[in-house]
Amino acid sequence: MVFAICLGALMLLPVVISARAGRAGDVDALLTNAGRNTLGRTVAGVVCGNVGVGSFVALYLFGGASPVIGASVAAAYTSGLVICALLVPRIRARAGGTVSLVSLLAQSHGLTSPLPLWVPVAAIFLLRASVQLTALALLVQGATGLGMGPALIGSGIVVALYTAIGGYRAAVETDVAQAVVIVALMVLIWINLPAAPADGPAFLDLGPYGPALLVGIWAFVPFSAVLAVDNWQRITLAEDTATARRAFLIATPVCGAIFAAIAWIGHALPGGDVFETFRGLMPVSAPWLADLLFVTAIMSSIDTFVMPLVVGTGPARPSLGQLRAMIAGLFATVIAVSLIFGALLSSVIAAFSSLSVFLPAVFGALFLRPGRGRAAIVSMNGGVVVAMALTVISRDVAAIGGFGFAALTYAMLRRR
């Protein structure tokens, strides 16, 4: 009952906000929340977008399997937020009026249509959204007794409806309250952090993983933050350059403390279910606070994964009907991906490993002269295929192998 009330409240707030944003002709508010992305909202968005349930799952499981892997993921992703802050002036200067990562890549590589570059980016971030949806479905399944399939479909429909009604404006304007909930509950977790296990593995024990994964984490995870479409859009849509930079600098220690706590919990209490473990860290009389934490983390990030994919994919100024149809189509894909990729950790690793393949094209767009479109198309699309295939064969080398293919093809084709 408590879970249902919390979930209902979290769903109702965006709908109330969306009633204002959904007026006829208010497409800009739904797409970009134009002119309303203040420092407070941007800070909250950075916290919400980077403390998703995928972070909980990955850090907890990695921390439980290998202390050094868990700590490295936490530290590397935190450093990525600093990289975002440092690159804010460059990104905004090169954006040239574009909002999304895909639009900048298409513009800088001379492509008239962003679609060939949108496909690989959408594939990765729809996979990341599927991690969020799968986790939400698991919580709904536990609360209602539904099967996993119905829970997934039902959760997807509910989230799609709220996102289609409220759009990016609802996503941004609810981030402040959601960030407060996440931070407050993580402070409670910090107070109750478990002690280190007496018989735990040595810090440098890699567990089931190899050195290649550790190299990949430090080489590529820091850049995954700036390659994230939601972080990119927060940078381009903030009121000004100073606001965007300050927002990431303020949010970095907050996110870093949260990442460190999750990795530590994985190390101290390994082998359990991540949801049950966090319930056990809440007050005895209120284990449902963990459900509130996870639902908030999911609701605050899944919308900002999907909405940036809508920008630049359809008409220059879509109608509300076209916009909502695009959102519905994207969420239908997320539901299908969630049904296919059942293992949360596998989905997380596949998504993060594949992000590395965008580095060559993004580096070219930010720091080099305009290159040929086919270089970006081949490196990004082919890189995703290679990284995904390697994830199935060997998780340890997926990021390195995918990046190697993308970098080689981009360098070979850029000037030909």
Q: What CATH number does the domain containing 11 carry?
A: 1.10.4160.10
Average pLDDT over residues 393-414: 88
Residue 64 main-chain phi, psi, to 5 deg = -75, -35
Q: Residue 248 pLDDT > 90, yes or no?
A: yes
Domain that holds residue 82: 2-345
- 315-324's contacts with Cβ under 8 Å and 24+ in sequence apart are 317/27, 318/27, 319/27, 320/22, 320/24, 320/27, 320/30, 323/27, 323/30, 323/31, 323/164, 323/167, 324/164, 324/165
Average pLDDT on 340-368 reads 78
Percent residues over pLDDT 70 in the chain: 88
Residue 88 and residue 340: Cα distance in Å, rounded?
36
* pLDDT value at residue 206: 85
Is 405 a member of any domain?
A: no
Does 356 reside within a domain? Answer: no
pLDDT digits (tens, 9 = 90+) for 165-179: 877 887 888 888 899
Look at residue 24 in the predicted model and tell me its pLDDT: 44
* R_g (Cα) of the chain, nearest Å: 20
The reply to whether 400 falls in a domain is no
In this structure, what token pair is assigned to residue 342? 């059942």
Query: Is the residue at 318 inside a domain?
Result: yes
Q: Mean pLDDT score of the chain, rounded to an integer?
A: 85
The 10 Å Cβ neighbour count of residue 391 is 23
Rounded mean pLDDT of 147-155?
A: 86
254 in a structural domain: yes
Chain segment 90-124, per-residue pLDDT in tens: 999 998 778 889 989 999 998 988 999 999 999 88
Is residue 360 included in any domain, yes or no? Answer: no
CB half-sphere exposure, 392, CA atoms < 13 A: 6
pLDDT, one tens digit per residue, over 124-135 is: 888 888 888 888
Say how many domains are in the chain. 1
- Distance from C-alpha of 141 to C-alpha of 158, rounded to nearest angstrom: 14
Nearest-angstrom CA–CA distance, 3 and 288? 7
Which whole number is the average pLDDT over 125-152? 84
Residue 410 lies in a domain: no
Q: Which two tokens stand for residue 407?
A: 């970098």
Q: Is residue 234 part of a domain?
A: yes
**pLDDT, tens digit, 9 for 90 and up, residues 194-245:** 887 777 788 888 888 888 889 889 988 999 899 998 999 999 999 899 999 9
Summarised one tens digit per residue, pLDDT across range 35-83 is: 778 999 999 999 999 998 888 988 998 998 899 999 999 999 999 999 9
